[in-house]
């Protein structure tokens, strides 16, 4: 695969045409996952496939063949040694908006592009009272996420952090958040959120390393209990958060290096 043909866009294992993509524009209903490919392999691939299968059952009442999805990803990244960014969108061209209660077979769109360099600058985030619809699903309804990020940037911050109706910190715009407590343990918020693959890999790596990692309610008023906080998603496994609203946090390089090692301890998988 040469750089000249990026991005590569394939539908159900074949090159996608403009007409194939028309449904994505006309009906914003579906879900996706995104990951990095390193030397043709993916960290946490099984977790991404689990996510896609679960959401397909929830949104389309049908089964997604994970082995076919693996084959389509393998085809789309074949021959590349560069790090890649892959997005797998699941939608249904056969979806009838007048019969949404009926099961429908899903289509799978694989988009491949060169991976971006993960950002390292500590983030300043602004909190907003907001909870995503169907927070457990990585669905395509992303307008509110980017609108809140825009509002955060208009206020002089970098990104948005969400707090639910009960005042609990949940997740960022397109990322999960974790905290480092005063004793060096890792604490995750328990409010409704997407169970991000990067977060799952970090939790598993922490368990393997014998490091303390717990999940509990965290409110904005509790920020003084923590010395540091971090952003995590598929693009950037660990990124420091410098502040939440007016509350400053330390940049704990030792803790973040440990988290990076925990994330990297998960084996890469071939599609």
Read off the pLDDT of residues 60-114 as tens digits, 9 standing for 90 and up. 999 999 999 999 999 999 988 889 999 999 999 999 999 999 999 999 999 999 9
Torsion of CA 65, 40, 55, 100, to 10 degrees: -70
Rounded Cα distance between 266 and 205, Å, is 7
Residues sharing a CB contact under 8 Å with residue 163, sequence separation 6 or more, in sequence order: 127, 128, 129, 130, 169, 170, 191, 219, 220
Lowest mean pLDDT among 3-17, 42-56, 128-142, 161-175: 3-17
- Write the DSSP assignment of 257-268 as a string of letters: HHHHHHHHTSPE
Which token pair is 258? 């440990």
| Average pLDDT estimate for 21-29 | 89
Radius of gyration (C-alpha) of the chain in whole angstroms: 19
Residue 237: the pLDDT is 95
Mean pLDDT of 243-252: 97
pLDDT at position 4 over 60: no
Q: Cβ of 139: how many Cβ atoms within 10 Å?
A: 20
Let me know: does 227 contact 185? Beta carbons within 8 Å: no
Per the prediction, the chain carries an average pLDDT of: 95
Strand runs (DSSP E) across 154-270, as ranges?
A: 159-163, 169-172, 176-181, 186-189, 213-216, 226-232, 239-244, 247-248, 268-269
**Over 60: is that where the pLDDT of 3 sits?**
no
| Averaged pLDDT for residues 153-175 | 97
Per-residue pLDDT at 2: 43
Strands 239-244 and 123-129: parallel
**Res 1: pLDDT:** 41
User: For residues 4 and 141, which has the higher predicted lDDT (pLDDT)?
Assistant: 141
What's the pLDDT band for 38 if we cut at 50, 70, 90? very high
Task: Give the residue ranges of DSSP H helices in the chain.
Answer: 18-26, 45-60, 66-77, 143-154, 197-208, 253-264
The set of residues, in sequence order, having a beta carbon less than 8 Å from that of 50 and lying 6+ positions away, is: none
pLDDT tens per residue, range 177-230: 999 999 999 999 999 999 999 999 999 999 999 999 999 999 999 999 999 999
Is 192 in contact with 135 (CB distance < 8 Å)?
yes
Query: Strand 159-163 relative to strand 123-129: parallel, antiparallel, unpaired?
Result: parallel
| Torsion angles phi and psi, residue 4, rounded to 5 | -65, -20
Q: What is the pLDDT of residues 186-198, one digit of tens each?
A: 999 999 999 999 9
> What pLDDT is recorded for position 33?
98
The Cα 176–Cα 237 span in angstroms is 10
| Mean local confidence (pLDDT), 251-269 | 95
Backbone angles phi, psi at 69, to 5 degrees: -60, -45
């Amino acid at each position: 695969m040469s750089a000249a043909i990026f991005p590569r866009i394939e539908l159900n294992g074949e090159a996608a045409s403009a007409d194939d993509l028309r449904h994505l524009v006309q009906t914003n209903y579906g879900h996706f996952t995104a990951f990095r490919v390193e030397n043709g392999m993916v960290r946490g691939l099984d977790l991404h496939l689990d996510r896609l299968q679960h959401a397909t059952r929830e949104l389309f009442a049908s089964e997604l063949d994970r082995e076919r999805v693996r084959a389509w990803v393998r085809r789309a990244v074949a021959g590349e040694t560069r790090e890649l960014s892959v997005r797998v969108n699941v939608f249904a061209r056969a979806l009838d908006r007048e019969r949404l209660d009926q099961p429908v077979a899903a289509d799978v769109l694989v988009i491949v592009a060169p991976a971006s360099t993960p950002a390292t600058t500590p983030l300043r985030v602004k909190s907003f009272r907001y909870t995503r619809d169907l927070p457990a699903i990585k669905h395509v309804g992303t307008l509110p996420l980017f609108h809140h990020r825009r509002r955060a940037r208009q206020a002089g911050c970098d990104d948005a952090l969400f707090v639910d109706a009960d005042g609990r910190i949940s997740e960022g715009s397109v990322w999960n958040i974790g905290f480092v407590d005063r004793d060096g343990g890792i604490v995750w918020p328990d409010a409704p959120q997407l169970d991000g693959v990067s977060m799952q890999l970090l939790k598993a790596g922490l368990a393997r390393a014998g490091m303390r990692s717990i999940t509990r309610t965290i409110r904005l008023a509790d920020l003084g209990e923590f010395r540091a906080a971090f952003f995590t998603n598929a693009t950037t496994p660990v990124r420091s958060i410098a502040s939440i609203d007016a509350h400053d946090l330390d940049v704990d390089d030792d803790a973040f290096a440990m988290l990076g090692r925990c994330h990297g301890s998960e084996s890469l998988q071939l599609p």
